[in-house]
Amino acid sequence: MKTRVFRSGNSLAVRLPKEMALPCGPVSIRREGSRIVIEEMNEGGWPEGFFDGIRIKRKSFGREVPEFHEKKL
């Protein structure tokens, strides 16, 4: 499916075909390589599943004891 990008004031805009219609309101937009992803925002303000990919599952995260090694100058 093709569409076009055009100028709207100082911004760029994308014309979405009727088949790709989103409800009017806030959306999230991000770049993934050469792709631009537009997603509806849920009631909490984040796209569905947004945090799943960045969640740290290791229970010891942030509890590691730092190691210090002195270097001779």
Whether this prediction's pTM lies above 0.95 is answered by no
pLDDT of residue 56: 80
- Locate the domains of the chain by residue range: 22-46
pLDDT of residue 7: 94
What is the pLDDT tens value at each position of the chain, 73 positions in all? Answer: 888 899 999 999 988 888 888 888 888 888 999 999 888 876 766 777 777 777 787 777 877 778 888 888 8
pLDDT of residue 10: 94
What is the C-alpha to C-alpha distance for residues 22 and 14, in angstroms, rounded to an integer? 13
pLDDT of residue 64: 76
Pair 29, 11: CB distance under 8 Å: no
CA atoms within 13 A on the CB side of 66: 3
